[in-house]
Amino acid sequence: MSKSSTLIQINEAVPSESYPVLNCSIQMASFVCFKTYQRVGLNVYLQMLAKQIAPFSGTIDYAKPLSIAYIDEEIQLISTLSGLDNLKLAAKYHQLETMKCIDKRAEQLLKQFNCQRVANKLPAFMSNLEKRLLLIARALMLNPDVLFIEKPFQGLNRYEHNILGDHLISLLSELKITIICSDTTLGFTKKAAQQIIYCDDKVFYDYNQWEHFKKNHNELFTA
């Protein structure tokens, strides 16, 4: 990987004094999966990379000013708004484009995520998958360079997991953005990740090949 393609450079960064040090670079238009063995909470590292919290020590350098979208475990759709109005909410708030452009972009994303059927639904009448897809689509309304998603598959069954996974993979080729997720399943990580950043609870390891990751961390693959 060339330096010219580096989007984020992390040097000896930690979110708190008691956490393992993170050293790695994240590339443009890549799919990055953060994984852990047992105890280390990864979301705080995503928050640090997304500039939501400052590093306790170390540095994080960005190749350019980035537009960042972040979906955490607590973010929900507005219960009194329809799917379409939820989708347009952030873009309208930030006044990123004209209303005509926002309306057009929203319709495109509903179609891209096969969510036209939820346009007039309230969140209470949506499935977990529909709500998750709509949250991701709403984040994409902001045209981010980097999309962070905490635990994207939490609460989904295997069928829903596979549908969401296919959508996430397609985003990489269609939009050319960087996607950084925490706690993805091993199956999805193998299929999608171009970079795996793994912590064994003591040290972070950085891989760009599944085979090397699997070979060096047998603890994840034994019953």
pLDDT, tens digit, 9 for 90 and up, residues 159-205: 999 999 999 999 988 998 999 999 999 999 999 999 999 999 899 99
State yes or no: pLDDT of 20 exceeds 80: yes
Give me the residue spans of the domains in the chain. Answer: 1-66+145-223, 76-143
d(CA 197, CA 157): 25
Q: What is the share, in percent, of the chain residues with pLDDT greater than 70?
A: 97
| pLDDT at 3 > cutoff 60 | no
Pairing mode, if any, of strands 146-149 and 178-182?
parallel
pLDDT band at 122 (very low <50, low <70, confident <90, very high): very high
pLDDT for 112 equals 95
CB 147 within 8 A of CB 135: no
Which CATH class for the 1-66+145-223 domain? alpha beta
Asked if pLDDT for residue 87 goes beyond 70, the answer is: yes
Report the alpha-carbon distance of residue 29 to residue 7 in Å, rounded.
9
The least confident of 8-12, 37-41, 52-56, 77-81 is: 37-41
